[in-house]
Amino acid sequence: MLTYRPGDSLAHRLDPRTKLLLQAAFAAAAFAHTTPRGLAAFTLLAGGFLVAGRVSPIDALRGYLPALPFLLAAPLVETVSVGFGGPKTGLAVGLDPNAAIGPLLASYRVLLILLVSAVYLRTTAVRDSRAAIQRLVPGRVGRLLGVGVALVFRFLPLLRADLRRVREASHARLGTERPLRDRMQFVASAGIRGAFGRADRLAVALRARCFAWNPTLPALRFGRVDAWGVLLAVGLAVGAFV
């Protein structure tokens, strides 16, 4: 799992807003120039980002392992074409390896975008991400999103543990023999009960502590490295439209 690790790499020192901007600009540019030459350049750039965050490409790939079957399957499926009018079955199946080239480039582009995301995840603390979101999205919407993000981080491990306990208890009592619908309903009911119980206690605690629209956030400051980061992001964004 890709999570934050403290460090002093170049990527750690960048402001989270710069990093978010760089990711968005990188994705836009990679979508605009999905050619072998363009992707070769983006590979170098993504490699540079990985070095800047001291993230191993293997670790980054491991974090997105569930994505790989889909990225491989899309080009493969595109090579197969099924039509009507075959001699025996009435279906004609054709194979066209050339049809895979476009989807293959597209898959590679997505892989590069995921690698760049991995650098952000490894080098940005949750508090900083929350502060960046709250400052990038204006007004109360941003504040609401900031609170929501912080609470999801806080409660995800607790709810996961709730669900794990329920599943273990169910497995121990041969719950795996029951129909799929019952098993899903059992887990979901327990999850809902846990979520509502925790939400009600949280709401009481928030009211008791005078939950306010203007919380104290960690200070974010643009430094000299951010100027270079923003310049690169602007360059990528302009490149995406040229």
Partner 1 sequence: MSTETESVELVGEDVVGNVARAALFAALTGAFAYVSFPNPISPVPVSLQVLGVFLAGIFLGPVWGGVSLAFYLAAGAAGAPVFAGGSAGFGPLVGYTAGYLWSYPIAASLIGGVVHGFDGLADPETIATGRLVLGMLVGTVVIYALGTVGFSVVQNVGLVEAFTVSALAFVPFEAVKIAAAVGVVRSDAAAAA
Query: Site residues for partner 1, window 39-98 (CB under 8 A)?
Result: 63-67, 69-71, 73-75, 77-78
Cβ proximity to partner 1, 13 vs 64, nearer residue: 64
What angle is formed at CA 89 by the lines to CA 85 and CA 95, rounded to 5 degrees?
65
Cβ proximity to partner 1, 94 vs 148, nearer residue: 148
Cβ proximity to partner 1, 156 vs 234, nearer residue: 156
35 scored as a contact of partner 1 (CB under 8 A): no
Site for partner 1 in 101-120 (CB under 8 A): 102-103, 105-107, 110, 113-118, 120
Site for partner 1 in 152-171 (CB under 8 A): 152-156, 158-160, 162-163, 167
136 scored as a contact of partner 1 (CB under 8 A): no
Rounded least distance, CB 26 to partner 1, Å = 9
Cβ proximity to partner 1, 70 vs 228, nearer residue: 70
193 scored as a contact of partner 1 (CB under 8 A): yes
Alpha-carbon distance of 223 to 10, in angstroms, equals 12
Question: What's the per-residue H, E or C state across 132-157?
Answer: HHHHHCCHHHHHHHHHHHHHHHHHHH
Rounded least distance, CB 63 to partner 1, Å = 7
Quote the tokens at residue 28: 């836009």
What angle is formed at CA 42 by the lines to CA 46 and CA 72, rounded to 5 degrees?
85
Among the listed residues 18, 25, 64, the one whose alpha carbon sits nearest the alpha carbon of residue 45: 25
Considering only 91, 92, 206, 238, the residue that binds partner 1 (CB under 8 A) is 206
User: Is-contact 211 144, C-beta < 8 A?
Assistant: no
Site for partner 1 in 168-187 (CB under 8 A): 180-185, 187
Instruction: Look at residue 83 and give its three-state secondary structure.
Output: strand
Rounded least distance, CB 145 to partner 1, Å = 5
Quote the tokens at residue 85: 């009018």
222 scored as a contact of partner 1 (CB under 8 A): no
Rounded least distance, CB 231 to partner 1, Å = 20
Cα of 130 vs its chain's centroid, Å: 15
Alpha-carbon distance of 238 to 46, in angstroms, equals 18
Beta-bridge partner residues of 53: none
